[in-house]
Chain A
Amino acid sequence: MRVLIGALLLSLCAWHTHHRAQAWRADAALWQAARQTSPALARPAFNLGVVYLRQSQWSQATELFLHAAQVSAQPTAPLNLRHEAGLGLSFIDTVAAPICDQPSVSPWCVWLSP
């Protein structure tokens, strides 16, 4: 009986490890999974934004960068979130600003620093 329970536990571990390992195949899967687990965090939003940026999906990327910047900028945000703020904001300024004339991006540009 104990051997059976042990085998069952190992099988369960292998199954969930297989599923978790799939998330580590690529940035997109990894950060999408992280967004589902921790939707309010800045880092998953920022890094998923980078993934969208590489895929030229500007509106999704800008939305995520803004979310990352807003979360990180809150004074009550834990220290481990704040260091992404500068990165997120600089991405918005340097990457999104030059493409504000594009219709898919322009609604988000009201958030950019003057």
Chain B
Amino acid sequence: MVCVALTVSAYASSLSGGWVYEDARPGLVPLAQLPLSWDIRPRWLTHQTYAGTTWLLNAEPSTARAVSLAWHLLNGLLLWCVVRRVVAAPIAVLSAGLFLLWPVQVEAVAAVAYRSELVAATWLLLALLCSSHGWRVGAWICAVATITGKEAGIVALALVPLWAYWVGPRWTRRQGLAWSVASLWLGVAGLVWAQSFSYRLIAPLEAITTAIAITGQLVMRGLWSVVDSRVLSIDHDWRGLDAAIGIATLCWATALYLAGSIWVRRALIWIGVAMSLRVLMPSAERHEHHLYTAWIVVCVAIAHLMSTGGRAWRGGLDDGI
């Protein structure tokens, strides 16, 4: 309850603002005027949340911002539900608190246009919750539903089995095969679907390596934002980052993986998988709101580090349970 109160008070200053940047971009239909529709397109559910807010409440920006904040609080609650089964209760509370309050999350929460991140994360967290209860069909349906929040949410199909592999309950070989076949089938269908919206899919190798450098910088700024929020910006200057820095980033990540505790390792892998599409896709930009899903396990890792102190850096397998 303290975390929820702190989150509401921290975001209170943004609630009274108007539409900002992509919330009401010239040439596009304003978010508050999107119609309720059953025409399934990319980000369908996200668009329905805008339409539903206007239909149920009003088209004021303060209302839309309050809905986004409520959605963020819901995600914090879901994260607590997911992690309390695998870590000690204080670590679960701290993880959820950090997820709700970390400054890098502001872009995804305060900007109404980036609610797609919140909606996709909700489905992912529901999928993790289903998986931890052993409801694998429900987990698969929720993982697929992340697409209705944001198309890049499809990485949930990889994140859910990863989470199950880490914290259980472990899947049988047959269950893993069924998940893989269903996901592969969906992946092929998704590729065909993406082509119909003219998405370019894979970037050249040098661009991918540069994207790794940018993602690394973005994560570092996200971490440092708790010390100085002025490192955050709606648009970062990535000039000077190249493939060589991308390789250096991979080397640092590997060193951190080898030196880190089990949750630090998990956080690194989680970031890699969660950001994989953003690294691979040639036309993708990289902004702070793209870290929203990646921050789920980062917050658990930080909370775990704080609870275990120095032991966490010896590469032990202490889960803090």
Contact = CB atoms under 8 A, between A and B. Distances in A.
A43 interface: yes
Contact of B14 (A22, A36, A43, A47): A22
A100 interface: no
Nearest to B97: A10
A5 interface: yes
A17 interface: yes
A80 interface: yes
Interface string B77-99: 00000000000001000100110
B135 interface: no
Q: Which of A5, A14, A30 has the most CB of B within 10 A?
A: A14
A102 interface: no
B9 A47 contact: no
A76 to B, nearest CB: 8
B1 to A, nearest CB: 13
Nearest to A79: B283
B173 interface: no
**Contact-size category for B:** 35 or more
Contact residues of A: prevailing secondary structure? helix
A101 interface: no
A6 B307 CA distance: 9
B233 A25 contact: no
Contacts of B18: 25-26
Given A10-B97, A16-B226, A17-B10, A78 B106 contact: no
Nearest to A76: B239
A38 interface: yes
A68 to B, nearest CB: 12
B133 interface: no
A33 B231 CA distance: 10
Given A38-B235, A78-B238, A22 B13 contact: yes
Contacts of A37: 230-233, 236-237
Q: Which of A15, A20, A26, A27 has the most CB of B within 10 A?
A: A20
Nearest to A19: B229
Nearest 9 pairs of A and B residues by beta carbon:
A25-B17, A24-B110, A13-B101, A37-B233, A16-B229, A21-B14, A38-B237, A17-B10, A16-B103
23 contacts: A6-B97, A10-B3, A10-B6, A12-B226, A13-B98, A16-B225, A16-B229, A17-B102, A17-B106, A19-B229, A20-B106, A21-B11, A22-B13, A24-B111, A27-B20, A33-B233, A34-B233, A36-B230, A37-B231, A37-B236, A41-B237, A77-B239, A78-B238
Interface of B: 3, 6-7, 9-14, 16-18, 20-21, 90, 94, 97-98, 101-103, 105-107, 110-111, 225-239, 285, 303, 306-307, 309
Given A2-B309, A18-B13, A44-B235, 18 more contacts: A2-B306, A6-B303, A13-B101, A13-B226, A16-B227, A16-B228, A17-B10, A17-B11, A17-B102, A18-B9, A20-B229, A21-B11, A22-B13, A26-B17, A27-B21, A31-B234, A37-B237, A80-B285
